[in-house]
Structure 1
């Protein structure tokens, strides 16, 4: 019956209620393309009907047509300025294109109109998280839950707000509650799996158990997997497809850009899972033989497009991060599928054949951590373009300051209580030292106060005199801030990736703690690739000792400062042409190993 709704809209051309019935049914069934047609017909027939524009706006959001969606919702508001849900929906759509201040305004208006509208508080919580106000986000998420105790989405939003301040146990409890309430929610699984990477308390086996549950869930939703894949003929170039929502100024985009211009022996295809584009997007688009937007396609449609393109190797660049399209891989649209670059652990997806790492991040001893087979780059598995915004490397700050300044510019989610305890001990053992932390959340005074208290509880007296806390800034300013630190402290268990590479490029060595999984070995890989093996600690005690010992050798730190950028540029960590060759060889090798 569903397939006849479009015809029904014509049959009941003058019946507004029949239009509503058709639009709601099509939307609820996930048939957004058909729903869009009916909703547009409705706005043409009943241009003064707020519901028609409201429905069209919601449908367009689901199709990834964000600007059109905003226009439709604004039209709905003009027609019915007292409908709180329209304001809340508009807020959610504005967040898709990072217009958080406007989104906040519309959330507050929705709450003003309807103080008991739980979804408005939920959307406001998401806005506040993105504005670096996680404590305020917690309060409004709890209000949403109070109004609607079975609101699963509010629980995982609450979990995100805890995660933003490194409160991993509280985050995981929230994520678990979300899954209890909505056991088939892929987003709830994404959140709990991503959260475990930050949490030092979870075992690898526990993570793998949850990842396998996710993989089973998405596989169960696939009625038919693709077979009879395209196989390259002799002399043909391999077709390699990338699926990502991060082809933009994001860690994935930054790590991808440097090699693309040097790829000669394979054909590149991009499948973009997010409609946001920026200057990085425009720079990299020409390197792809074909660029296809799939943010407005469902999983089966997206898989069909990839299959028809004849992709040989399909790479997931997102894992369980936001905007991922892992369910597409469950259709097996390519004969060989792999996960690389965007996620530091097993996806749990049975149809993904390989996880790509290197010999430092993914040693043979850790193959049991993955559902996927491990493929290892000979050198680094990541490569960052030398930042054009970077200033010259400055003089070692300790020569000017007469004290050591440690620093970390990673997301606060990575700075958990264990990290704070170790860093506090470093400050206690080096009484003159300072610690410079810079990240989005630290632009909020309440978050700063929490951090000061945590260091104080670990014995650091008057922490405001020992810590330098700053919020986010443009990349050029961020890179210039490395000229204020002598040694970078890598957090654990979730090491820095782009931040670690940026640090060594700016002449700042990273002190890292070698862990027992990929996410805890990225720092080791970066350090080894630029000759910083003496800055790799095997345990927490050695981490503290190396911080102290290296801080005493000012001459060596000054020498590193003068030479580390040039060393970095000669390594596969920054040499795009060298990395591109490694990548081409890896793709050819993976293909040969698969058949």
Structure 2
């Protein structure tokens, strides 16, 4: 539809749209009876009916009548930005800067868009120019800190957050983002007060903050649900008549191959890909077609990248498409069930799902919590991570697999050459507690407990994964403050996965974190025979390691509280026979326990998909259900 065709619909614009158009005309400072005003009204009509190309054309024509009207240029830039046409957006914003070099708001918009483009250097520059003009706007500090974090300048980002909070001490996004950065830096001075303020002054008051950050801040599922609902509320509100605008779907054929779409930016050497790959390879190709939708098409040249791309029937790079255009693509492909593998983690494109491109949409694997979204129908879980009494904490219907919600890859390679203690910086004698979770999961309370373990187990060391250099310095400082020599905190540099798996075998006992527990890392430890000790909480994210231990046949490594956790760790450190027996049990169960029975898991997951589709085809509403267990597969080498 052209702008001229659209113009014929102008007299039929309903009253709310007309009011919106009139308000924009006033805001853009346009003559109300001029051609520019009519074109703005057409742009409003086009946007409300899902036609961004026509909206942009109308605004460009209006800009031709008013070439110095920066409001029009900004609106054009925003539409291009939403469509991920970043070069065109940058051109529009640059014109505004040339016309209004002293307008701070322009630098805020420009800084945000440059982050999305990955032009971090320019975003930092734009934010600093804006702050030199006016040091007050919170958005400039947020942009500056975000760009600095993405550019690996964490200390400078922390300085930006502190400057923001000195001016706006209760700024919701500033409090939560700064807290999450502190977790990555293991910066705990005043941490408890910061944590409580961040929770009290953000989503609980209706302010939009990243839900992923709340997973690491609160074990309360109610907090996590509310943070997710607040986050997606604006998404749903921006989408008019989802799915219906794309036309009706054909009537379901009960014998069809189900078309399953997988939406992610992690089809490369990433934890999600490492877990899901064998499930995709083992799928029943007569009943399921798998289509990958890459929103961040990273070709890292690894084997896992090759495996996961080649296992899809089709795989499309939609990273350059805007949200609605990506949704149109997915809908046009006739996807029956769209599986979101990202949730609210880095690189998520949740807005695509808000357009409802598939009749069923599922939260699976990538995000261990509710998405609080009306456009997400199901969450895949098990009876441990989401017990029946906690279903009310999830806006999705809960689908429970019989053993464990997490798939695994039995083809994961382990470096054949064994590592020695000296090679890894470990002492030749002494007990090795290890925790290879990401350092942001280490809380001050858990670190206190771990330091008590080192006091109670002479000669023991704590082996941690390398994080930010400042974080390592802070952990050594915190250990010494608790009376533990820094030499007893051994830092493991990052290695490729197969080498890391081989190295892990040197650990005597894996100490889980809380409230964010080990997920893929716990599977890795169990795969190479290292016992994992965990203490589950109330939330999904705090119960994953417990689910894995159940599925591995070692539920006795799950303890009810942190006091029991401490006593169990000390007891095992002083009882090599018991610990050795647990290790032997893990090794014996490795190829027979449900956790690593990839074929059994795949059949269960497919049964879940078939049940979802059957309910949809029968016209039944979305509802929680449990998948019946299948027989165990025969052990394989």
Return the TM-score normalized by structure 1. Answer: 0.77
The aligned counterpart of 1:248 is 268
**Counterpart of 1:139?**
159
Over residues 65-114 of structure 1, what are the superposed CA-to-partner deviations in whole Å (9 max), with x where a residue is unaligned?
67x689989x99xx99x9999999998778668897x6799689969998
Shift, 1:420, TM fit: 1.6
- In structure 2, how many angstroms separate the alpha carbons of the residues matched to 1:58 and 1:500? 43
- 1:335 aligns to 2:356 (yes or no): no
| Residue aligning to 2:568 | 546
Select between 157-166 and 361-370 the one with higher mean Cα deviation: 157-166
Question: Cα distance 1:117–1:574, how it changes in 2: closer, same or farther (>3 A)?
Answer: farther
**1:117-136 to 2 correspondence within 5 Å?**
122-130=142-150, 134-136=154-156
Structure 2 Cα separation of the partners of residues 168 and 297 of structure 1: 42
Which of 216, 225, 229 is matched with 1:198 structurally?
216
Task: Pick closer, same or farther for the CA change 1:317–1:370 going to 2, 3 Å.
Answer: same
Q: How many angstroms does 1:526 deviate by?
A: 1.3
How far residue 55 of structure 1 moved from its aligned partner, in angstroms, is 11
The structure whose Rg is larger is 2
Query: CA–CA distance in 2 between the matches of 1:282 and 1:26?
Result: 44
Say if 1:37 and 1:142 are closer, same or farther in 2 by CA, change over 3 A.
Answer: farther
| Offset of residue 406 of structure 1 | 0.8
Equivalent pair of 1:503/1:509 in contact (CA under 8 Å):
yes
Shift of 1:536: 1.2
Contact 2:554/2:586, CA 8 A, preserved across alignment: no
Give the corresponding residue for 1:307.
Answer: 331
- Residue 416 in structure 1 maps to residue 443 in structure 2: yes
Q: Is residue 479–residue 506 contact of structure 1 (8 Å, CA) maintained in 2? A: yes
State the Cα distance separating 1:486 from its structure 2 match: 1.4
| Alignment correspondent of 1:425 | 452
Contact 1:168 1:195 in 2 (8 A): no
Matches within 5 A, 1:526-565: 526-555=548-577, 557-558=579-580, 564=586
Partner of 2:432: 405
Report if aligned partners of 1:393, 1:561 keep a CA contact under 8 Å in 2.
no
- The answer to whether the Cα contact below 8 Å between 1:317 and 1:339 also exists between their aligned partners in 2 is yes
Rounded to whole Å, the distance in 2 between the matches of 1:96 and 1:507 is 42
Counterpart CA distance in 1 for 2:596 and 2:85 is: 36
Cα pair 2:78 2:89 within 8 Å, conserved:
no
Contact 1:134/1:162, CA 8 A, preserved across alignment? no
Structure 2 residue matching 1:401: 3-state secondary structure: coil
1:121 is displaced (CA, Å) by 5.5
Distance, in Å, in 2 between the alignment partners of 1:86 and 1:330 is 28
For residues 368-423 of structure 1, the C-alpha deviation after alignment (integer angstroms, 9 at most, x for no partner) is 22122211111221123357563248489699833111111212221112212222
Report how many aligned residue pairs link the two structures: 570
Q: Distance in 2 between matches of 1:85 and 1:512?
A: 48
Per-residue CA shift, 1:434-488, capped at 9, x if unaligned?
Answer: 11111422x22xx23432344455xx31341321235545435543441442111
Could you tell me whether the CA contact under 8 Å between 2:107 and 2:130 is conserved in 1?
no
Q: Which digits, 9 at most, give the CA deviation of each residue in 1:492-515, with x for residues without a partner?
A: 111111111111223211111122
Q: For residues 60-79 of structure 1, what are the structure 2 equivalents within 5 Å?
A: 63-64=83-84
Contact 1:405 1:487 in 2 (8 A): yes
Task: Report if aligned partners of 2:142, 2:174 keep a CA contact under 8 Å in 1.
Answer: yes
Q: Assess, with a 3 A threshold, how the Cα gap between structure 1 residues 124 and 217 changes in structure 2: closer, same or farther.
A: closer
- SS of equivalent residue, structure 1 residue 542: helix
Residue 229 of structure 1 deviates from its aligned partner by 3.9
Contact 2:549 2:558 (8 Å CA) reproduced: yes
Residue matched to 1:259: 279
Taking a change above 3 Å as real, the CA distance of residues 95 and 303 of structure 1, as seen in their structure-2 partners, is closer
2:600 to 562, 565, 578: 578
Aligned partners of 1:159 and 1:174 also within 8 Å: yes
Query: Conserved in 1, the CA contact under 8 Å of 2:415 and 2:502?
Result: yes
Unaligned segments of structure 1, at least 5 residues: 8-20, 42-52
Distance 1:514 1:573 in 2: 18
Distance in 1 between residues matched to 2:157 and 2:111, nearest whole Å:
15
CA 1:463–1:521 in structure 2 vs 1: closer, same or farther (change >3 Å)?
A: same
Residue number in structure 2 paired with 1:48: none
1:451 aligns with 2:471: no
| Residues in 2 aligned to 1:136 and 1:394: alpha-carbon distance in whole angstroms | 40
Query: What secondary structure sits across from 1:440 in the alignment?
Result: coil
Residues 56, 388 of structure 1: CA spacing in aligned structure 2 closer, same or farther, 3 A cutoff? farther
The CA RMSD measured in Å over matched residues stands at: 4.9
2: CA distance, partners of 1:331 / 1:36: 20
Structure 1 residue 285 corresponds to structure 2 residue 309: yes
1:157-236 aligned at under 5 Å gives the runs 157-165=177-185, 167=191, 170=194, 173-174=197-198, 188-189=208-209, 191=210, 193-200=211-218, 203-214=220-231, 216-226=233-243, 228-236=248-256
Per-residue CA distance 1:549-592 (angstroms, 9 max, x = gap): 22223245456657746743444434443332222122112323
User: Using a 3 Å threshold, how does the CA distance of structure 1 residues 226 and 542 change in structure 2: closer, same or farther?
Assistant: same
Matched residue SS, 1:194: helix
Matches for 1:489-508 after TM superposition, within 5 Å? 489-508=511-530
- Unaligned runs of 5+ residues in structure 2 are 8-36, 62-72, 619-637
Q: Quote the residue 2:21 is aligned against.
A: none
Q: Does the CA contact (< 8 Å) of 2:433 and 2:510 recur in 1?
A: yes
SS in 2 for 1:211: helix
Counterpart of 1:347 in structure 2 is 371
Relative to structure 1, the CA distance from residue 558 to residue 174 in structure 2 (aligned partners, 3 Å threshold; closer, same or farther) is: same
Distance 1:95 1:268, change over 3 A: same
The answer to whether 1:522 aligns with 2:544 is yes
Equivalent residues of 2:360, 2:377 under 8 A apart: yes
2:380 alignment partner in structure 1 = 356
2 CA distance for matches of 1:58 and 1:277? 29
User: What does residue 49 of structure 1 align with?
Assistant: none
Which residue matches 2:19? none
In structure 2, relative to structure 1, the CA distance for the partners of 1:38 and 1:133 (3 Å cut) is same
Give 2:490's aligned residue: 468
Deviation at 1:211, TM superposition (A): 3.4
1:211–1:284 distance in 2 versus 1, CA, 3 Å? same
